[in-house]
Amino acid sequence: MSDNFLILLVDDDHTLVDILAYAAKETFPEARFLQVHTSSQLERYFQQLSGYGPRLILLDLDLNESKDGVDILASLRYDDQTSRLPVIILTSRDSDTNVVDTTMLGAASYSTKPADLQGWKQYLSTLSLYWKHTVRSVPVWFTNET
């Protein structure tokens, strides 16, 4: 397996993936980002995935569609393969209720989106320190059965 650390971003902000990639150059150079904008794109991604899946999922709660991040998290936890992927809620909502709800559904953590590039650099540095250099996780292998 390569040194790439694939992070799947589920967010409808089309510019966020570029911001993350730019901020990661200094602070988490192994990070590679793939973005989906909707729950249906996420579903298609996992249906077509063959091989190692993402190491982390960053999931926004506020998507401009009928399913929100809580619904998507519940779906991810229901599936045998995706249930093993760590999901970090990354949102602009700072709500104790959302923290409790998403934690009870199996989110690994809950964080609010930084406001500027320096904040994103710090966020990704911390993400790298914890998810790449501190904890040990086993990559999930997906089999495309279609």
Report pLDDT for 144: 75
Secondary structure class of 83 (helix, strand, coil): helix
Q: Taking the model in full, what pTM does it have?
A: 0.94
Domain residue spans of the chain: 5-142
Report pLDDT for 146: 55
Rounded CA separation 97/94 (Å): 9
Kindly indicate the confidence band of residue 3, based on its pLDDT and cuts at 50, 70 and 90.
Answer: confident
Helices (DSSP H) in the chain: which residue ranges? Answer: 16-27, 39-48, 69-78, 96-104, 117-127
For 23-78, write each residue's pLDDT tens digit. 999 999 999 999 999 999 999 999 999 999 999 999 999 998 889 999 999 999 99
CATH class of 5-142: alpha beta
For 76-99, write each residue's pLDDT tens digit. 999 998 999 999 999 998 889 999
